[in-house]
Amino acid sequence: MSDKTNRVLFLSLLTFCGLAGTHATGKENAPDVQESRLWLQYQAEGNPRLKESAEDLRSIYVPSSSSPILKNAVSELSEAGTRMLGHAITSDGAAQNGTVVLGTLAELKRYLPKESINRVASLNDEGYLIKSLTAAGKRITVITSRTDRGVLYGVFHFIRLMQTGESLRSLDLAEQPAVHLRMLNHWDNPDGSVERGYAGRSLWKWGELPEKTDPRYREYARFCASIGINGVVLNNVNADPVMMRSDYIEKTAALADIFRQWGIRTYLTPNFASPMVLSKNLNTADPMNRDVQAWWADKTDEIYQRIPDFGGFLIKADSEGQPGPKSYDRSHVEGANMLAEALEPHGGIVLWRAFVYGKSEDRAKDAYNEFRKFDGCFNDNVFLQIKNGPLDFQPREPFTPLFGAMPKTSIALELQITKEYLGHSTSSAYLAPMWEELLQTDTYAKGKGSTIARIVDGSLDRHALSCIAGVANIGDDANWCGSIFNQANWYAFGRLAWNPDLSAAAIADEWIRMTFCSDVETCTTIRKMMMGSYEACVDYTMPIGLNFLCNTGSHFKPDPAKRKAYHGADASGLGINRSKNGSDYSGQYAPELQAVFNDMDRIPLKYLLWFHHVPWDHTLSSGRTLLDELEYRYDRGVSYVDTMIMEWIGLKDNVDAEIHASVLEQLKKEQAWARTWNTTCMDYFSGVADTEK
């Protein structure tokens, strides 16, 4: 039978098969404010393409065997279309122009052209095809994938096209995620607090689970799915052993049952000492002890009996007081592999964090010194999860030299979406430029072109699995993230985890149009504000490679006087000598980078004080002395915030009044915060420099 005949039959089926109906979304119980809808606003205002789109989305057809994920896809597309296009998305199944057909390749294969079948078959499990077809004179759009998860992601892509004003005509695009595991790491505690969280308390109401599930759990999963996030670690890496108790496994299962319907797998962080805390018969957590191994195997079996698609464990061990294998003279490899063996029969993974303190004279060297020697020793289902920088999510650090140094080990990149060192929710900093800068950085591990993006997506070292994790900035605030501009970082993380080669500017454009549905002038102004906001935050806090100038508790206020170990200010100059003539931290990088980092005149100014102790009167590549450059950077950062305020005030008539007022209030707080940093740091550094005179 010809492809054309199949497509005609396919259209005829639409006449006789009822469409999968929409179902309750649960949104009636969620906060009904514009900010709570994040980037899924589904507003028609200011979108000139929607009139054309109205002719391309009239009805939806899915096979009768629809899974819960496909039902959610249908519901989402129906809601988006109805709200944006101004007419109900019909469910009579009539073949007509504007029918969107959803289904897996197995369900639609009989009716697709061979070329389309081959394209879908060549994609990974979460890739999808969106294809405009014409048959029997009817114009339809097919969204298909090898899996229902891929169809869901395709639907959200289709909706994004509507939201951003793109044409729905003549679509022919195939896309797949570059990274397999795209995860949020929640630092949420069983008592409802959130470590380094600035948007209220935890979403997870452990006291109510499993009997009662908050409607926001579904909304959360829906938002995650819309940007391709497929994994969630529910609890803090400073883990409470209670999370491995049977009653908490039941609570976790209630969340997993919701997340599964949106293609999301659930993970937990167990405390490494859980066996000796929870078992009456064990007084050790030694990973080489057979009884301990049996306890973990039994506990893992218990979890999978209740959560068949459980993802695995994220582990923080032997770091900041957390227990680990070193307490028993065992290595990180022995600890990780013990857990990996318990998970392996179920298809689970271990994400072992590389954030450790060691005995190096320079803390920045610790992770490399601790883990480099173990390359190739971890089991296949173990990821070494590495922070972007070697210290601790500072506003700007050079990349961790472990990237590129462990080609035989699966590497997971850990980013921080929550702004621990970037002003908490006071800051409006858009973090995608920071992450883009990191991902496109060349490690030279295998010659030019060995970018961190290629290491993380597994392509450089040909790893079968890849992972990017982000420390979540989400809480129970009505706006989810503490402010509307912090929502952009959740969105940007998901989009970059899906495709690390996307640009920060392109992601900003998407988010602005989806969140504000604004006109060109408004979009241009907001994009300009966003694209310089991260660099401004670096300028008015820790410019030119400075780090850890903040206080020790909240990591919010400037306290350079107590942080000399991290900035090295004295009468002779400023900065830490990590060059070959200092701690030789630079020696952990490829030779091409060592040559740059060791040379005070060649190194980019953004890393200067990270690698060198520079005299106060040294003339930099900018033509300014070090002290003058510091003053220039601090003033520039404050000035940028001043400008953002003026630009935002100018949008008063273009943005929802409540949102405009809340953002303006936030920007004024940031302005005061930036000025405090400027004054405190410049007074301190100027005072130290004056002692030379």
**Active-site residue list:** 320, 392, 420
Helical pair 657-690 and 484-498, crossing angle rounded to 10 deg = 80
> Would you call 15 exposed, middle or buried from its count of C-beta atoms within 10 A (0-12, 13-18, 19+)?
exposed
d(CA 192, CA 235): 10
Measured CA to CA in angstroms, residue 447 lies from 236, 424, 460, 461, 593 at distances of 38, 38, 11, 13, 11
Cis amide leading into 241 (omega within 30)? no
Q: Which helix (H) or strand (E) holds 55?
A: none
Q: Helix H segments across 417-552?
A: 432-439, 452-456, 484-498, 504-516, 520-541
d(CA 385, CA 237): 12
Please list, residue by residue across 581-591, b when 16 or more beta carbons sit within 10 angstroms of its beta carbon and e when fewer do: ebbbbbbbbbe
The answer to whether 138 and 99 have CB atoms below 8 angstroms apart is yes
Distance from CA of residue 604 to its chain's centroid? 27
Q: Which helix (H) or strand (E) holds 92?
A: none
Which residues neighbour 228 within 8 Å (Cβ) at sequence distance 6 or greater? 126, 153, 156, 177, 182, 494, 495, 497, 498
Return the number of other C-beta atoms located less than 10 Å from residue 462's C-beta: 7
The answer to whether 404 and 443 have CB atoms below 8 angstroms apart is yes
Measured CA to CA in angstroms, residue 141 lies from 92, 134, 135, 303, 360 at distances of 17, 9, 11, 41, 59
Please list, residue by residue across 172-187, b when 16 or more beta carbons sit within 10 angstroms of its beta carbon and e when fewer do: eebbbbbbbbbbbbbb
d(CA 138, CA 141): 10
Tokens representing 83 are: 């709200």
Distance from CA of residue 467 to its chain's centroid? 11
Which residues neighbour 427 within 8 Å (Cβ) at sequence distance 6 or greater? 419, 533, 537, 670, 673
Which residues neighbour 262 within 8 Å (Cβ) at sequence distance 6 or greater? 69, 72, 152, 218, 221, 222, 224, 225
> Would you call 281 exposed, middle or buried from its count of C-beta atoms within 10 A (0-12, 13-18, 19+)?
exposed
325: left (phi over 0), alpha (psi -120 to 50) or beta: alpha
Measured CA to CA in angstroms, residue 6 lies from 15, 94, 112, 171, 661 at distances of 15, 17, 7, 20, 56
Distance from CA of residue 690 to its chain's centroid? 44
Handedness of CA 522, 526, 531, 535 (dihedral sign): positive
At residue 315, φ and ψ (nearest 5 deg) are -125, 130
